[in-house]
């Protein structure tokens, strides 16, 4: 009879089901990165001079930087000249409503299960979809604008709301922040912009879907979300890509700003193509996400479910500037086959009585490598600051790895910092117990892992929590190989 390990090894591998390519006419500029390319991007997008200026400064700064290599990640050098930095679906004409979006594209979004069409109106989700580099459609715009909410593509925001963009862009993640942030600032092609005015509670989930379609194209999107005093918003980001043999680069920047009493909940389901079982292909995901709790009692909560990408380098953090502000980070990161993830958070406590909570669940299967890397920093003025961190790792099989790198820097003696960590191997006992009740191995693994992640899933908006569980089950299939 086969052992559970053998069975885990032979479980059917499910193909990455989002791996199709849409055959669509696109406007793609030649490979390579130079000042000309940066100018060309800006020109193609018809940007004002201040935007070009920002890009050029970022580009020149980027030239002075070297790619960071401190993460627990192993990948060959990235050739930044070997990618296209702009690719846009060629519109037949200027788009005024959803009906005019290329039907092929709508079909793609249909396959992705994006609630783009009017029939999904009931779902109450407003979506901005970014395809390759360009934002394609923003639904529910009118309904949102009745509340004074701005939710549009980044390009449109540059055109229609230049004051807001100039005021906030780069104020949380400056282009000098790191190598990938500088690269993004130079060449980003679109993304989402959102502004919630004072006292407004956004009446629906806002959502962005990112998809890389074109071969050898980098995707560099920027998201900027500002919640003014007393407002609140819940935002969800999802992403997928076709299966390709070569590695593709994704370097996004997300900036969140919360003023007095404002609350932002930002959830990500990251499902970029992870590469095949042998580790060929897959997205390199280098992302800088940061939120600034600028106001008193402001609250920023990051929830991420990371199941995709060949390489993940990502540390969504919070700068807790306002007194009594709250930062949260809930993360599930799964690495299977040859995937590698180095992810975690940074919580910088500056204001008084600031609080942060970190719950990280890392699951490694196959030859996956999973690292939690987190910084909790309590600055001098952060009297009464509190942090609680819990980092749990689960290993499935014996060829994978889990690593924890917590950095704690406390400069105020009244602060409380608690850190708990655990590593467990998915138990033969647990699996056998499930099997003995008639539950097969695949379902048992899914059940145990989902149970392990429960504290994070319950932070997700309902409908997405269900999605996340399914995604985890699919990603776990063939989990020891």
Nearest residue to 105 (alpha-carbon basis) of 125, 143, 134? 134
Residue with tokens 């092609």: 189
Positions in 241-280 near another protein (CB under 8 A): none
Residue of 285, 284, 288, 286 lying closest to 256 (CA atoms): 288
Candidate residues 1, 12, 96, 122; the one interacting with another protein per rule CB under 8 A? 1
Residue 2 lies near another protein (rule: CB under 8 A)? yes
Q: Contacting another protein (CB under 8 A), which of 453, 460, 471, 480?
A: 453
Candidates 65, 447, 463, 474; binder of another protein (CB under 8 A) is 447
Structure-token pair, residue 160? 């229609």
433 lies in the binding site for another protein (CB under 8 A): yes
Which helix or strand (DSSP H or E) is residue 59 part of? helix 49-63
Q: Cβ distance 175 to 182 under 8 Å?
A: yes
What tokens does 226 get? 């500002």
DSSP string, 386-429: EEEEEEEEEE-SSS-EEEEEEEEEE--TT-EEEEEEEEEEPPHH
Q: For the CB of residue 7, give the shortest distance to another protein in the complex, in Å.
A: 7
Q: Which lies closer to another protein via its Cβ, residue 278 or residue 428?
A: 428
Binder of another protein out of 3, 97, 119, 413 (CB under 8 A): 3
Indicate whether 413 belongs to the interface with another protein (CB under 8 A): no
CB-nearer residue toward another protein: 278 or 455: 455
Question: Residues 52-91 vs another protein: string with x where CB under 8 A?
Answer: ----------------------------------------
Tokens 């390579």, located at residue: 32
Residue environment code for 141-180, b if the CB has 16+ CB neighbours within 10 A, otherwise e: beebeeeebbbbbbbbbbbeeeebbeebbbebbebebbbb
CA–CA separation, 252 vs 188, rounded Å?
8
Our finding on whether 420 is near another protein (CB under 8 A) is: no
- Residue 1 beta carbon to another protein: minimum distance, rounded to whole angstroms: 6
Binding segment for another protein among 57-65, 377-385, 409-417, 439-447 (CB under 8 A)? 439-447
- Find the part of the chain contacting another protein (CB under 8 A) among 3-11, 42-50, 218-226, 348-356: 3-11
Q: Nearest approach, Cβ of 124 to another protein (angstroms)? A: 25
Residues with Cβ within 8 Å of residue 169, at least 6 apart in sequence: 54, 222, 224, 255
Q: By CB under 8 A, name the one of 117, 216, 430, 473 that touches another protein.
A: 430
- CA 37/CA 40 separation, integer angstroms: 5
To which residue do tokens 């783009």 refer? Answer: 116
CB of 455 to another protein, least distance (A): 8
The residues near 97 (Cβ < 8 Å, ≥ 6 apart) are: none
Determine the interface stretch with another protein among 124-132, 208-216, 344-352, 447-455 (rule: CB under 8 A).
447-455
Determine, following the binding rule CB under 8 A, whether residue 451 of this chain makes contact with another protein.
Answer: yes
Of 82, 455, 466, 470, the one binding another protein (CB under 8 A) is 455
Interface residue with another protein among 408, 428, 466, 470 (CB under 8 A) is 428
In this complex, which beta carbon is closest to another protein, that of residue 137 or of residue 431?
431
State whether residue 315 is helix, strand or coil. coil
Q: Which residues bind another protein (CB under 8 A)?
A: 1-4, 7, 427-430, 432-441, 443, 447-448, 450-455
């Amino acid at each position: 009879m086969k052992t559970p390990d053998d069975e885990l090894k032979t479980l059917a591998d499910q193909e990455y089901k989002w791996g199709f390519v849409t055959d669509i006419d696109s406007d793609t500029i030649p490979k390579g990165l130079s000042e000309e390319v940066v100018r060309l991007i800006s020109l193609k997008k018809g940007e004002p001079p201040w935007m070009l200026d920002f890009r050029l400064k970022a580009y020149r700064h980027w030239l002075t930087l070297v790619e960071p290599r401190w993460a627990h990640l192993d990948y060959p050098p990235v050739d930044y000249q070997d990618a296209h930095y702009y690719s846009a679906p060629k519109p037949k004409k200027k788009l005024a409503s959803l009906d005019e979006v290329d039907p092929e594209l709508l079909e793609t979004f249909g396959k992705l299960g994006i609630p783009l069409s009017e029939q999904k109106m009931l779902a109450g989700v407003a979506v901005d979809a970014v395809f390759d580099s360009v934002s394609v459609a923003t639904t529910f715009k009118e309904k949102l604008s009745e509340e004074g909410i701005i939710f549009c593509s980044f390009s449109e925001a540059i055109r229609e709301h230049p004051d807001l963009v100039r005021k906030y862009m780069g104020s949380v993640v400056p282009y000098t922040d790191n190598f990938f942030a500088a690269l993004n600032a130079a060449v980003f092609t679109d993304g989402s912009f959102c502004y919630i005015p004072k006292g407004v509670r956004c009446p629906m989930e806002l959502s962005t879907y990112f998809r890389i379609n074109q071969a050898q194209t980098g995707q560099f999107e920027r998201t900027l979300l500002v919640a003014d005093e007393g407002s609140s918003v819940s935002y969800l980001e999802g992403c997928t890509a076709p299966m390709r043999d070569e590695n593709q680069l994704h370097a996004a920047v997300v900036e969140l700003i919360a003023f007095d009493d404002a609350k932002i909940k930002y959830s990500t389901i990251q499902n970029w193509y992870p590469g095949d079982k042998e580790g060929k292909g897959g997205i390199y995901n280098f992302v800088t996400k940061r939120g600034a709790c600028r106001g008193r009692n402001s609250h920023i909560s990051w929830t991420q479910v990371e199941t995709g990408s060949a390489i993940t380098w990502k540390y969504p953090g919070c700068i807790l500037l306002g007194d009594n502000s709250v930062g949260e980070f809930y993360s599930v990161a799964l690495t299977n086959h040859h995937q590698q993830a180095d992810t975690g958070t940074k919580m910088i406590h500056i204001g008084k009585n600031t609080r942060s909570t970190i719950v990280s669940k890392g699951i490694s299967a196959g030859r996956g490598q999973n690292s939690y890397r987190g910084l909790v920093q309590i600055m001098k003025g952060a009297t009464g600051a509190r942090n609680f961190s819990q980092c749990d790792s689960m290993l499935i099989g014996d060829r994978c790895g889990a690593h924890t790198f917590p950095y704690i820097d406390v400069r105020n003696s009244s602060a409380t910092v608690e850190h708990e960590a655990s590593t467990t191997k998915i138990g033969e006992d647990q699996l056998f117990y499930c099997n003995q009740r008639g539950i097969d191995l695949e379902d048992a693994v899914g059940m145990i892992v989902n149970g392990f992640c429960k504290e994070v899933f319950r932070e997700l908006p309902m409908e997405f929590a269900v999605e996340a569980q399914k995604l985890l089950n699919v990603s776990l299939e063939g989990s020891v190989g």
